[in-house]
Structure 1
Amino acid sequence: MRRGNSPYSAAITGGGFLFEETDALLPLLKSPDREALVKDELVNNRILHINAEKSRSKAILEIKRRFDVMPPAFWEDYQAMNEDDRRIALLFVILKTYKILFDFQINVAIKKWNSVSRTIDLQDLAMEMNEIAAKDEFVDSWSESTKTKVASAYLSMLRKCGMMNREGNLVQLKPSNADFYIRIGEPWFLEACFLAPYQIENIKKQMS
């Protein structure tokens, strides 16, 4: 669901967070026989255990999309991380893959975190979506149903990576390998995890 020169896509609605599924599929995606192995998994469902073939196909498509956004070395580092850090790293990959979610994180979530009320809901995201749609014809062409699905997928993602609790309050993420994101030239992600400037500076000092 991407059209013309728009950098936006509603493809996130085809998958969701897909943490366990990503971990399961990584060995196939890293293999020289990737295409054959992925095709076999689509047909035979040996590792994903997603019963409906249509749902399985969508999940595989989105995991492949995310995998290809990052260099191979990233996935080597990813597999060496503990589970909490892998969840945070997958959030990073997702924000790199889907610009609409990146905009939600930077323009809505961070502002909410720095405000009195550290909650975020569909209405907050609808306002940002309207801002984007005013400048992007493709997003403007989305149905209200699609817009709601994209926003709902984002909120679900925040819960699954631990950035939102059951009450809907935002939670600071603290990757134990925070220096990793500075080392790969992506320090913005630490702010996206709601780390304060002084925390980020302390990490940089510890690295030097």
Structure 2
Amino acid sequence: MSPSRYKGDLVAGALLVNESWKIARLMVGGLEKNELMEKVIRDNLLQKRSPSSTKRQASLIVNRLMTLPKPFWSMISDGSHDQATQALFCAAIKYSPILGDFVSTVVAGNMRVFKKELTHAQWDSYFEERAAIDPTLDSWSESTRGKVRQISFLILSQAGVIDSTRARNILPFHLLPTIRFMLIEHSEEYILSCLEVFE
């Protein structure tokens, strides 16, 4: 069986803007992954209650950021809050296609028929459709499935795609010109295809 393109480690956190800013600064500074992880855990830079929580969240952030070219790291560490948020949204989409594919199919579908609300039932139906294509998703526990759904809606809320995790109404979302330019310049076709519905 080929490896799944879908990862369940999304459960470790949503956009994590403040935490990602700290890690992006270290990555821009040239620290290698092992050195970075050691420093983050030793100094408890993410201010978590246990080293295991720090390691899990830091690993997610590093893995997300490493899917994007280095200029995005600088955007996260030195750009505005809105630029950092959108760059992290792009990283989450690329690293976790379970989120990206939801945006490009379900969110896009709602927008085409002018349906504002995203429902839990839509996510569950989407997940079952994906599981039919990728049977490895069947191995996810119910708690993991629920947490991935929860975090995915939280990411959409933090990115400004929906108004809240409770109402889940789709908002007018505009990709910042700086982010769009970088995505085009670095040929980030998957991310662009997920976000083209907002154009």
Q: TM-score interval w.r.t. the shorter chain?
A: 0.7 to 0.9
How far has the Cα of 1:4 moved from its partner?
4.8
Letter in 2 for 1:163: V
Distance 1:27 1:116, change over 3 A: closer
User: Aligned pairs, how many?
Assistant: 193
What are the superposed Cα offsets for residues 76-118 of structure 1, whole Å, 9 maximum, x if unpaired? 3444432112211111111000121111111111111222321
Matches within 5 A, 1:52-131: 52-131=50-129
**CA distance in structure 1 between the aligned counterparts of 2:95 and 2:58, rounded to whole angstroms:** 15
Letter in 1 for 2:173: L
How far has the Cα of 1:190 moved from its partner?
7.2
How far has the Cα of 1:40 moved from its partner?
2.5
**CA distance in structure 1 between the aligned counterparts of 2:188 and 2:35, rounded to whole angstroms:** 33
**CA distance in structure 2 between the aligned counterparts of 1:103 and 1:33, rounded to whole angstroms:** 32
TM value normalised by structure 2:
0.86
Contact 1:85 1:175 in 2 (8 A): no
Letter in 2 for 1:133: A
Letter in 2 for 1:182: I
Match of 1:132 among 130, 133, 139: 130
Distance 1:94 1:67, change over 3 A: same
Paired-residue identity, %: 22
Contact 1:9 1:98 in 2 (8 A): yes
The structure 1 segments of at least 4 consecutive aligned residues displaced by more than 6 Å after TM superposition are none
Letter in 2 for 1:171: L
- 2:192 is matched with 189
Higher relative contact order (CA 8 A, sep 6+): 2
Contact 1:163 1:172 in 2 (8 A): yes
Distance 1:143 1:191, change over 3 A: closer
What are the superposed Cα offsets for residues 131-157 of structure 1, whole Å, 9 maximum, x if unpaired? 011121210221222211111110011
**CA distance in structure 2 between the aligned counterparts of 1:109 and 1:52, rounded to whole angstroms:** 36
**CA distance in structure 1 between the aligned counterparts of 2:194 and 2:14, rounded to whole angstroms:** 23
Contact 2:24 2:76 in 1 (8 A): no
1:174 pairs with 2:174: yes
How far has the Cα of 1:54 moved from its partner?
2.4
**CA distance in structure 1 between the aligned counterparts of 2:158 and 2:75, rounded to whole angstroms:** 21
Distance 1:190 1:9, change over 3 A: closer
Matches within 5 A, 1:9-48: 9-34=7-32, 35-45=34-44, 47-48=45-46
**CA distance in structure 2 between the aligned counterparts of 1:27 and 1:79, rounded to whole angstroms:** 5
